[in-house]
């Protein structure tokens, strides 16, 4: 736990805390819906016997839903999601199945012990209580809940994976058809490109270079997610990231994403040198402006952006090398950030005439240090 808080800053810890809370609340709501649905069906069909204790049953259901939500939100879902990223799908599915079975029996045992101990008035160390709990695993209620919660867990994972694919907040927009008709939006864009990619590719060969890129894109993913960024596209050794204005400006998220990416790669440098004898050092360009956004494609539908801001951002990033910097941004982008991340300061740069622009674009860089 101490290592966790050392690895992630406050905002990044809050990202996982918020996600855990949402899973907890969602699973508690689902558990209550299932409980009251079962109760209403049994009551309507006169399936409740005289021994049924509503209060004890509801308390046991609530206890199980809270424990399941906490375990699921903080531990289980994160581990399962990691396995889905790390292993082939069939192998991850086997691991997930065994983990789910273990958690299901653990949570079910806690709930059963609470319910039957209270209902039968038996102490927790009673042999009679142990035998009654053992019988619970063969009953219809346990089997039904086991299957139902397996689907709920898998659905939660699918939602998280789809949300990762489209970026935070994009999947709901996609489902609601927000971009079915093209519309104007003001967005922040960051183009990140690996330095000396051609040389690294020639040294590693096609197969190892692909793994090199795969590791790089996987490693920087948490930085993008935690700063509310959305991956627009991967183009060779380049990734294009975008933010809605409110998400990118808040806490200077867009700029924090760059520094978080740098920090992640630095911490994993030993791994990269050990496996590839190369480090994915990268440069980035930032700009913001109006774009048209909408769904494109018939065979493969996707959300696409078009506008001058993308070309401008790409050209800003392209002149990082000649300026000898890792990060370059339009002054317009710098001006909307407000308070910068701690230890980061603006470094004015000479303006540049970019292709397709009638006027010179004012530029700035950023430095992080004690000043």
pLDDT tens digit string along 278-321?
A: 999 999 999 999 999 887 777 777 778 889 999 999 999 999 98
Q: In the predicted model, what is the mean pLDDT of residues 15-43?
A: 85
For the chain, give percent helix, strand, coil, nearest 5: 60, 20, 20
**Which residue, chain included where needed, has tokens 């005439």?**
353
| 252 vs 246: CA distance, rounded Å | 10
Most confident of 165-169, 176-180, 361-365: 361-365
**Count of residues in the chain:** 371
Tell me: the pLDDT tens digits for 142-165? 888 888 888 888 887 777 776 666
CA proximity to 226, closest of 60, 62, 14: 14
Q: pLDDT band for position 55 (50/70/90)?
A: confident
| 24 vs 30: CA distance, rounded Å | 10
CA proximity to 280, closest of 211, 369, 188: 211
The DSSP output letter for 138 is T
Q: pLDDT band for position 4 (50/70/90)?
A: very low
| 238 vs 241: CA distance, rounded Å | 10
**Which residue, chain included where needed, has tokens 């699918």?**
158
Instruction: Name the strand (E) or helix (H) holding 289.
Output: strand 282-296
Q: In the predicted model, what is the mean pLDDT of residues 259-284?
A: 93
The DSSP output letter for 119 is H
- Residue with the bigger pLDDT between 65 and 168: it is 65
Are 212 and 280 in contact, with CB atoms under 8 Å apart? yes
| 167 vs 161: CA distance, rounded Å | 10
211 pLDDT more than 90 = yes
Q: Give the strand pairing for 302-306 and 282-296.
A: antiparallel
Instruction: Name the strand (E) or helix (H) holding 302.
Output: strand 302-306
273 pLDDT more than 60 = yes
Instruction: Name the strand (E) or helix (H) holding 290.
Output: strand 282-296
Q: pLDDT band for position 190 (50/70/90)?
A: very high
- Residue with the bigger pLDDT between 85 and 116: it is 116
Could you tell me the two tokens for 78?
Answer: 């994160």
To the nearest whole percent, how much of the chain has pLDDT over 90? 33
pLDDT on residue 265: 93
Q: pLDDT band for position 171 (50/70/90)?
A: low
| 1 vs 160: CA distance, rounded Å | 23
**Cα 140 to Cα 134, 135, 148, 344, distances in angstroms:** 13, 11, 12, 60
pLDDT on residue 361: 86
pLDDT on residue 366: 93
pLDDT on residue 368: 85
| 254 vs 190: CA distance, rounded Å | 8
Tell me: the pLDDT tens digits for 73-115? 777 777 776 777 677 777 877 887 888 888 888 888 888 888 8
Give me the domains of the chain, ranges plus CATH numbers.
2-166 (no CATH), 182-368 (3.30.70.1230)
Residue 291's CB: how many other CB atoms inside 10 A?
20
pLDDT on residue 160: 73
pLDDT on residue 188: 96
Residue 247's CB: how many other CB atoms inside 10 A?
20
Cross-strand pairs, 289: 187
CA 99 to chain centre: 21
Tell me: the pLDDT tens digits for 41-50? 888 888 777 7
CA proximity to 76, closest of 48, 45, 50, 107: 107
Distance from first CA to last CA of the chain, Å, rounded? 31
| 273 vs 90: CA distance, rounded Å | 30
Are 368 and 259 in contact, with CB atoms under 8 Å apart? yes
Instruction: Name the strand (E) or helix (H) holding 162.
Output: helix 140-166
19 pLDDT more than 60 = yes
Could you tell me the two tokens for 210?
Answer: 């692909």
To the nearest whole percent, how much of the chain has pLDDT over 70? 90
């Amino acid at each position: 736990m101490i290592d966790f808080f050392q690895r992630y800053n406050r905002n990044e810890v809050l990202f996982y805390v918020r996600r855990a809370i949402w899973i907890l609340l969602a699973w508690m709501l689902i558990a209550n819906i299932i409980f009251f649905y079962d109760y209403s069906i049994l009551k309507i069909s006169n399936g409740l016997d005289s021994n049924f204790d509503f209060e004890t049953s509801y308390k046991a259901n609530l206890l199980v839903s809270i424990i399941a939500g906490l375990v699921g939100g903080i531990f289980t879902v994160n581990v399962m999601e990691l396995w889905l990223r790390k292993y082939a799908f069939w192998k991850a599915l086997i691991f997930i199945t065994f983990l789910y079975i273990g958690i299901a029996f653990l949570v079910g045992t806690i709930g059963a012990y609470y319910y039957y101990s209270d209902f039968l008035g038996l102490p927790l160390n009673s042999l009679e209580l142990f035998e009654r709990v053992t019988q619970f695993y063969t009953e219809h209620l346990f089997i039904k809940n086991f299957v139902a919660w397996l689907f709920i867990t898998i659905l939660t994972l699918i939602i998280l994976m789809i949300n990762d694919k489209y970026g935070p907040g994009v999947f709901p927009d996609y489902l609601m058809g927000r971009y079915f008709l093209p519309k104007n939006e003001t967005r922040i864009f960051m183009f990140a490109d690996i330095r000396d990619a051609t040389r690294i590719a020639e040294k590693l060969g096609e197969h190892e270079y692909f793994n090199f890129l795969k590791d790089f894109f996987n490693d920087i993913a948490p930085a993008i997610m935690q700063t509310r960024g959305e991956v627009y596209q991967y183009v060779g050794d380049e990734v294009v990231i975008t933010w809605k204005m409110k998400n990118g400006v808040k806490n200077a998220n867009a700029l924090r994403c760059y520094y978080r990416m740098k920090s992640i790669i630095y911490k994993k440098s030993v791994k990269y040198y050990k496996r590839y004898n190369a480090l994915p050092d990268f440069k980035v360009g930032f700009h913001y402006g109006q774009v048209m956004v909408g769904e494109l494609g018939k065979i493969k539908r996707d959300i696409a952006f078009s506008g001058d801001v993308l070309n401008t951002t790409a050209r800003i990033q392209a002149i990082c090398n000649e300026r000898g910097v890792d990060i370059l941004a339009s002054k317009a982008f710098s001006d909307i950030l407000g308070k910068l991340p701690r230890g980061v300061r603006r470094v004015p740069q000479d303006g540049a005439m970019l292709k397709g622009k009638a006027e010179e674009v004012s530029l700035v860089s950023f430095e992080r240090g004690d000043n």
